[in-house]
Amino acid sequence: MTPRRPERRSEESARAIVQAALELCREVGYAKLSIEGIANRAGVGKNTIYRWWPSKSAVLLDGLLSAVSVQGPFPDTGDVVADFKTQMIAASSILASPDTGPHYAALIGEAQQDPALGSALWDRLVGHLVAAATERIRSAQQQGQIRPELDPEFVVELLYGPTYYRWLIRRHLPDPDHIRMVVDTAFAGIAPSGPAVG
């Protein structure tokens, strides 16, 4: 038998560690998640984890990134309203799934105390989704479907903010009907249209 190459063994350990963090966080919750628990579950020493990650939140972020796709193309059928509904409903499964939602909420919560984690969350997760959305918004602006003077990042805030608010502040899981209504209303406005406006 040929011994396995060390780097191969490292990759396997790393995978086992992030998987253990994901599973344990689901089972015991973020507050009770510990490096020791992750090490026991993954069958490695605590030092192995500390060699690669500074904290349990860093391991969990890698776990979350292994479970979600952040690089997919944004739908572009030519109908920007339909495309945002499609993409936002798909992306909201990250928030709604018990395998990823509580982990993501815990990391956003922890990021309020840990600016480095906040930056990592943005650079490695949210920023990719926002970049794809802003690109889609620019193309819709070029086609006259979104007001050209609006900053695409502002449009992202208007479209995605209500769902995050409901989820983080009200603790309501996103639902597709709500998302469709957010998109429709963001496009049309909350003021009555036509001559009824006061």
- Sign of the torsion formed by the C-alpha atoms of 44, 54, 93 and 77: negative
How far apart CA 17 and CA 3 sit, in angstroms, is 22
Residue 190 has what DSSP assignment? S
Nearest by Cα to 125 from 91, 167, 99: 91
How far apart CA 161 and CA 60 sit, in angstroms, is 24
Which of 108, 134, 135, 180 is the binder for a copy of itself (CB under 8 A)? 108
Which of 6, 73, 98, 198 is the binder for a copy of itself (CB under 8 A)? 198
Q: Which stretch binds a copy of itself (CB under 8 A): 1-9, 16-24, 49-57, 160-168?
A: 160-168
| Least gap, CB of 97 to a copy of itself (angstroms) | 15
State which of positions 50-89 bind a copy of itself (CB under 8 A). none
Which of 10, 11, 154, 176 is the binder for a copy of itself (CB under 8 A)? 154
Residue 188 found at the interface with a copy of itself (CB under 8 A): yes
Which of 30, 74 has the CB closer to a copy of itself? Answer: 30
Which of 26, 178 has the CB closer to a copy of itself? Answer: 178
How far apart CA 33 and CA 110 sit, in angstroms, is 13
| Least gap, CB of 15 to a copy of itself (angstroms) | 26
| Least gap, CB of 9 to a copy of itself (angstroms) | 34
Residue 182 found at the interface with a copy of itself (CB under 8 A): yes
Residue 132 found at the interface with a copy of itself (CB under 8 A): no
One DSSP character per residue, 1-31 reads -PPPPHHHHHHHHHHHHHHHHHHHHHHH-TT
One DSSP character per residue, 73-129 reads PPP-SS-HHHHHHHHHHHHHHHHH-TTTHHHHHHHHHHHTT-HHHHHHHIIIIIHHH
Which of 44, 81 has the CB closer to a copy of itself? Answer: 81
Question: What residues line the site for a copy of itself (CB under 8 A)?
Answer: 29-31, 102, 105-106, 108-115, 118, 122, 126, 143-148, 150, 154-155, 157-158, 160-166, 168-171, 178, 181-182, 185-192, 196-198
